[in-house]
Amino acid sequence: MKKTLSLSLLVMALGYSATATADEIRVAVAANFTDVIKQLGEEFSKQSGHQVSVSSGATGKLYAQIKNGAPYDVFLAADEQTPTKLDDEGVAIAGSRFTYALGSLVLWSANDNLIDDEQSVLKNQDFKHISIANPKTAPYGRAAQQTLEKLGFWDEFQPKMVRGENIGQAYQYVYSENAQLGFVAKSQVFKDDAFTGGSYWEVPTDMYDPIVQQAVLLKDNAPARDLLDYLRSDEASAVIKSYGYSVSEDQ
């Protein structure tokens, strides 16, 4: 009986120790950065023992969830305005906000021959549907709207436009060829320093407002702070750049 009790206490102690050292970090991430944070999260978990749980969506929708009490530890937005707002509202941990990536917009098609550098497909309207993310909730959607407005096509393309709730859904419409082309995040069609297929036009950055993607800490705990520190490391920056992002030197 005494031996059984001692063994039970040992098992309980080991269980407590595992719980205390291996925490789950809940990350709300803008859809464009989903694949990147999953890759970074796996490497961070190997190094730290902490598990990274990822929930992705449109920045505006994630903001609403956070304001309604969603239990996230970290927020990786697709803009700087939303994290700043959380900062100003006292929801984010003061002093934690920083720029983790600078995004780029691409017009992309799964068809290898549809898009050229002269944007002939847009000028000729040689498509049935064009996909963008919802400009009201997704920064990449706002960038797409700004681009189409500068090109003079915004009003003209309305009957052919399909809107994804976030940039991930906008990409899926094009990937599945339910839309012949669409404005997506470069990171969705670029990996290991090369485009992954299809045809594309890299939208000049002066056609839309800079996509400055910022992170904030929502819960002040050591594992979450360690993850944000890791995102600023040279190792993480190399991975982020390999998906087509730029990295701010001031991070």
As a whole number of angstroms, the distance between CA 250 and CA 223 comes to: 23
Is 59 assigned to a binding site? Answer: yes
As a whole number of angstroms, the distance between CA 226 and CA 64 comes to: 25
- What the block records as the tokens of 89 is 């509202």
DSSP string, 173-221: HHHTTSSSEEEEEGGGSEETTEE-SSEEEE--GGGS--EEEEEEESS--
Cα distances (angstroms) measured from residue 66 to each of 62, 76, 83, 92:
6, 12, 11, 10
- Residue 62, H or E segment: helix 59-67
C-alpha dihedral over 161, 164, 170, 175, to 10 degrees? -90
- Quick check: helix, strand or coil at residue 223? helix
- What the block records as the tokens of 242 is 């390999």
Q: Which residues does 152 contact at the CB level (< 8 Å), separation at least 6? A: none
Is 167 assigned to a binding site? Answer: yes
As a whole number of angstroms, the distance between CA 111 and CA 243 comes to: 21
- Residue ranges at the known binding site: 59, 167
- Residue ranges at the known binding site for molybdate: 59, 167
